[in-house]
Every structure is written in C-alpha cells, then in structure tokens.
Amino acid sequence: MLSREFKDKIKRKINYYQLIYSGTTKHLKKEINIPKKWFGNDYGGFFVATDFINENSLIYSFGIGEDISFDTEIIKKYNARVFGFDPTPKSIKWISDQQLPEKFQFYNFGISDKTGTSTFYFPNNPNFVSGSVVLQSNVNVQNGINVELKTLEDTAAFLGHKRIDVLKMDIEGSEYDVIENIVRTDIFIGQILVEFHDRFFENGKEKTIRVLNLLKEKGFVIFGISETFDEVSFINKDLLKK
C-alpha cells in the first residue's frame, strides 16, 4: 500500500506539470542556476541559496503561523540567527507553548508598508491560523482585531540591523504592498523568499507581475520556485559579484 506521503508527492508532481502546461505560471521563471536547498516542510518551506548563509547570517521570518520548520532547519544547519514575526493570536499562543531554539527570537508584530496599528481579519475557516490585514477572499471582514505592524525599515532599526541576509515572507496577501515599500528602502537584502497569494485576488496575476518587475529593477533574480509555484526565491545580484 502506498503511503500518504508518497501519494501527496505524486499529486504535487502532477499538479506541477499541469501548471506548466496550462501556461498560467509562465511569468514565473528561474533566471539563474546557483546551489540551493529546500528548508522546512513541504508546505512551510522555501529554497535558500546555500553559498550565502553562515553562522553570522541574519534571517527575518515574517509569517510564522504554527510552523517553524523553515526556521529551525536553518538554525540547525548554519547556527544562524532567526528573527520570527507574527501578530496572529493563534501563532503567538502556539509559540508561547514551544521550546524554541536559542538562536530563534520571536516578536508579536507583523510587517506592512506603514508602521502603526491595523485591523487583522481572522480567516473564514475558524480552524485555520492565518488571517490577514488585507481584504481578500480568505478572511472574514466582520471578525478582526487591532495588531501592531512595522515597515521593514523600522523593524531593522528596532533590532539594530543594517543588513538582512534572508527575508522570508508568508504574509497572506500583504506581500504586494510590502514589496513595493521594500524596494524604496536602502537596507541591503541578500535573499527574498516570498509566498505569493495571487489566488486571493481577482487581479492577482497582474499584482504578482508588477512586483516581479519591481524586484528585477532593484537587482533581484529568481533562483528557486516551489512545485506549487507559490513560493519564489530571489537573490540580490550584488551578492553574485563577490
């Protein structure tokens, strides 16, 4: 009998080729071949360019939910420092119940294009963890709370950092506004790992194409794409010159 894990793997592979042949993902193409590794589980992980990570690296991980497989694997492999961020009540509660690695620091605020408080809308399905501050199809606009958010620039200033080696974002639709804000800052970012939630918006593909172009103008190229085409990894071309 085939295991569930094996069946899931086959389903993902079938879905991968269906997405390619459908043409709906042709705007997402790997632009450079460099050594990379998938960190985290199948649903919470990302590709990371391994030649540019070491024990001195600073990793920002926005959008924790109830899964730190990406973060703990990075710490185990490189002994790097990971800073996790999530304003979601369920996530904050879950984190408080975990035995966290010494190199993992958690903060209960999120990232946005503006610093301040904003309404966080809970998911339509109460069993889910991740809501959003963005009005999109996955949230209940009648059910929300105020949460603290900071721009990337203000977050880095708060932590005393002028450089971020890896910026990971799984932020439920907020990535579009956040990326537009990030490309206007002077903070050096080595790698950007982002889950795109274009499926939440009627014009989602157009939103993704816009930020892809913004990142390209800023000097980032794609080196890794997940089988679902949701998780996309970018590297700063300035790193490749060294």
CB 218 within 8 A of CB 183: yes
Angle at CA of residue 63, ends 83 and 36, nearest 5°: 70
Mean pLDDT by 10 residues, the chain (242 residues): 59 58 75 96 92 97 94 97 94 94 96 90 69 69 83 97 96 91 94 90 88 96 92 95 72
Exposed/middle/buried for residue 166 (C-beta within 10 Å: 0-12, 13-18, 19+): buried
DSSP-derived 3-state class of residue 181: helix
How far apart CA 73 and CA 80 sit, in angstroms, is 10
Q: Alpha carbon of 78 to those of 65, 158, 170, 199: distances in Å? A: 23, 24, 22, 34
Would strands 36-39 and 81-85 be described as parallel, antiparallel, or unpaired? unpaired
Cβ-contact 59, 46 below 8 angstroms: no
- What pLDDT does 202 receive? 81
Cβ-contact 131, 120 below 8 angstroms: yes
Phi, then psi, of 38 in degrees rounded to 5: -85, 120
Which pLDDT score is estimated for 8? 60
Predicted local confidence at residue 74, as pLDDT:
97
Query: In this structure, is the dihedral angle defined by the CA atoms of residues 113, 117, 119 and 120, taken in order, positive or negative?
Result: positive
Q: Residue 4: what pLDDT?
A: 60
Residue 25 has what pLDDT?
74
Q: Which of 158, 183, 196, 155 is nearest to 60 (CA)?
A: 155
Show Cβ contacts of residue 136 under 8 Å, excluding neighbours closer than 6 positions: 172, 173, 197, 200, 201
Classify residue 4 by burial, with Cβ atoms within 10 Å: 0-12, 13-18, 19+: exposed
pLDDT at res. 79: 97
What length is written for the chain? 242
